[in-house]
Structure 1
Amino acid sequence: MVDGVRMRDGRWLAVAERGDPDGTPVVLLHGTPGCRRGTVPEAILTARPGVRFISYDRPGYGDSDRRPGRRVADAARDVARLADALQLDRFAVLGHSGGAPHALACAALLPARVRRVAALGCTAPPNTAGLSWFEGMALSKVEDFTRALTDPLDFADRLAARAAAIRSDPAQLLVSVRDGLTDSDRRIISDPAISDMLLRDYRESLRTSAYGWLDDDLALLSSWGFDPAVITRPVLLWHGALDTFSPVGHFKWLADRIPRARPVLDPDAGHFGALRALPAVLDWLCATPESRAS
């Protein structure tokens, strides 16, 4: 097991491995903000003894060095380097929320190595024809993203201040997003195991700076560096119909354009409903050819 990988450009990428070292490899891509210790609750990890879970801090988060100006597509290069270091031939990828577009980048740009991809609560690329990007989005998210687009320096300063406050009290982030959550989302994040995971995740992700958070948002709002329509690998798109962080129009846009998409829309779920969907999603990701045929 390794605790990090040196990238070809000299950056350090912090890595965590859990589960069976000889099991089916699944690369986990955390949300925004997030870190290598989040994404999947511990109870779900331990319930899958035949899976090797591999996660890492995206650049600028936790212990990973920053990469200013990174694009969503750059995640595929980092994942490929990580897979080389761990001697992985083929693997599955799972991304939730801000990690979901980065998972699609792996599907698009690493077709020879990626078996399957699950993208949960995924936004669509910006400036796409046929989609009103902000429609149905929580007002707080619209304000943040608009500020990032119109005044990125002010946005960076505000994120730095928020990150400093969250470092001293991570619960502030959960409180600040509650207005954009459904009742089901509020019940999910009120679960002690889930809230503890999220609080540890937020604290660790922002421990050194807000750069990962800033660079994630700017990457999601800029050209991704690939077209989802070129994806040839099987992709499970899971989405909550009541999600106001990534409105359902984004899901429909992606489902229409990814050739081998398997769309799953939960009519009663919001953004954090993805955590409840994880067991079934992991079953699909790790299915063998025999089990898929049965």
Structure 2
Amino acid sequence: MDRIKLRDGGFLAYKETGVPKDEANYKIILIHGFGSSKEMNFSASKELIEELGVYFLPDRAGYGDSDPNPKRSLESEALDIEELAYKLQLGPKFYLIGVSMGSYPTWSCLKHIPHSQKLFPSNTSVLESNQLYFSSNDIEVLKRIIGFPMLTKNKLRERNVFDTLRDDFLAGFGQWDFDPADVSISGESLVHIWHGNEDKVVPFQLHRCISKKLPWIKYHEIPQGGHLIVHYDGICDAVLRALLLGEDQKMYQSEPDSSKIELSCVNVCDSIS
């Protein structure tokens, strides 16, 4: 097990996958979602990983082998990522891929450590297998993936697991210290957001609205995509090609009618206000 010691004395665990760091052309920190861990599977093809020389460093405080942080906040998540990158000597440029609840630390990095280069929010599951939350394609995915070990009945009875999930939920859905619509980035950096248009956990209209307000966001909408798109065949390859190579993934570009976007934004804002 590999861990680094953080500024507050706690330890953050991580796992290196892909190619060795000194051979990597691109360095990516993968930020997992709710109830997951550094063991989550990012389903990019082995061939593409080897072709691009991708190197992953996934983990978050309080999950897996990392120490919990009872003072978890948006800023602490960003600072943990910054410290991880510094202590592992990732160099002046690295990438972030945030999955589901891992997206709020990614947004926090945009605000609190904007020099972290390109950032990449995405989506996957945060809840148990339930047709109320998952599309038909998601249900098929759930038949072949391991699942979410922290969300089992036995694990949820453990106090440290409960505390980690509670603190993560409160940080993600509590009062943020900034408005995403006010975030700005410099240079030619580009943020990508991928979202399934049949996502039953997070309304896709929310990201349509955000991407319309922030021109530096490249929005990719997955037809018939649910909340588990990170596990769909070919999606992770498309994610890496768009993020690292700038390839235009036309089959995942959303070009909805602008009047419908405005209506969707109003509906979403009304529902969350």
Instruction: Identify the residue that residue 236 of structure 1 maps to in structure 2.
Output: 192
For the 8 Å contact 1:31–1:39, the answer to whether it is kept is no
Provide the C-alpha distance between the structure 1 equivalents of 2:76 and 2:214, rounded to a whole number of angstroms. Answer: 20
For the 8 Å contact 2:128–2:151, the answer to whether it is kept is no
For the 8 Å contact 1:30–1:98, the answer to whether it is kept is yes
Instruction: Identify the residue that residue 136 of structure 1 maps to in structure 2.
Output: none
Instruction: Identify the residue that residue 274 of structure 1 maps to in structure 2.
Output: 230
CA separation of 1:99 and 1:227: change in aligned 2, threshold 3 A:
same
Instruction: Name the aligned partner's letter for residue 13 of structure 2.
Output: A
Provide the C-alpha distance between the structure 2 equivalents of 1:184 and 1:209, rounded to a whole number of angstroms. Answer: 29
- Give the TM-score normalised by structure 2: 0.76
Give the drift of 1:199.
4.4
Q: Which structure 2 residues correspond to residues 85-124 of structure 1 after superposition, within 5 A? A: 85-89=87-91, 90-112=93-115, 114-121=116-123
State the Cα deviation string for residues 212-248 of structure 1 (Å, max 9, x = none): 2111111111123333232314110111111111112
Provide the C-alpha distance between the structure 1 equivalents of 2:36 and 2:98, rounded to a whole number of angstroms. Answer: 11
Provide the C-alpha distance between the structure 2 equivalents of 1:260 and 1:78, rounded to a whole number of angstroms. Answer: 25
Provide the C-alpha distance between the structure 2 equivalents of 1:39 and 1:212, rounded to a whole number of angstroms. Answer: 21
For the 8 Å contact 2:193–2:207, the answer to whether it is kept is yes
For the 8 Å contact 2:63–2:164, the answer to whether it is kept is yes
Unaligned stretches of 5+ in structure 2?
Answer: 249-273
CA separation of 1:201 and 1:257: change in aligned 2, threshold 3 A:
farther
Unaligned stretches of 5+ in structure 1?
Answer: 123-140, 142-172
Q: Report sequence identity in percent.
A: 27
Instruction: Name the aligned partner's letter for residue 44 of structure 1.
Output: S
Matched, 1:221 2:177: no
CA separation of 1:174 and 1:278: change in aligned 2, threshold 3 A:
same
- Give the TM-score normalised by structure 1: 0.71
Provide the C-alpha distance between the structure 2 equivalents of 1:117 and 1:282, rounded to a whole number of angstroms. Answer: 12
SS in 2 for 1:210: helix
Instruction: Name the aligned partner's letter for residue 91 of structure 1.
Output: F
Q: Which structure 2 residues correspond to residues 156-175 of structure 1 after superposition, within 5 A? A: 174-175=128-129
CA separation of 1:108 and 1:257: change in aligned 2, threshold 3 A:
farther
Provide the C-alpha distance between the structure 2 equivalents of 1:231 and 1:74, rounded to a whole number of angstroms. Answer: 20
Matched, 1:19 2:18: yes
Instruction: Name the aligned partner's letter for residue 77 of structure 1.
Output: L
Instruction: Identify the residue that residue 284 of structure 1 maps to in structure 2.
Output: 242
SS in 2 for 1:184: helix
Instruction: Name the aligned partner's letter for residue 65 of structure 1.
Output: D
Matched, 1:179 2:132: yes
Provide the C-alpha distance between the structure 1 equivalents of 2:112 and 2:162, rounded to a whole number of angstroms. Answer: 28
Q: Which runs of 4+ in 1 moved over 3 A?
A: 43-47, 199-203, 205-208
SS in 2 for 1:27: strand
Instruction: Name the aligned partner's letter for residue 251 of structure 1.
Output: H
Larger relative contact order (CA 8 Å, sep ≥ 6): 1
CA separation of 1:44 and 1:107: change in aligned 2, threshold 3 A:
farther
Provide the C-alpha distance between the structure 2 equivalents of 1:84 and 1:209, rounded to a whole number of angstroms. Answer: 28
State the Cα deviation string for residues 192-224 of structure 1 (Å, max 9, x = none): 2xx12x345757x97852222111111111123
State the Cα deviation string for residues 99-146 of structure 1 (Å, max 9, x = none): 01211222332222x231211139xxxxxxxxxxxxxxxxxx9xxxxx
CA-atom RMSD, angstroms? 2.7
Aligned residues: 232
Give the drift of 1:182.
0.9
Provide the C-alpha distance between the structure 2 equivalents of 1:64 and 1:81, rounded to a whole number of angstroms. Answer: 14
For the 8 Å contact 2:36–2:148, the answer to whether it is kept is no
Provide the C-alpha distance between the structure 1 equivalents of 2:45 and 2:78, rounded to a whole number of angstroms. Answer: 25
Provide the C-alpha distance between the structure 2 equivalents of 1:258 and 1:70, rounded to a whole number of angstroms. Answer: 27
Instruction: Identify the residue that residue 156 of structure 1 maps to in structure 2.
Output: none
CA separation of 1:224 and 1:275: change in aligned 2, threshold 3 A:
farther
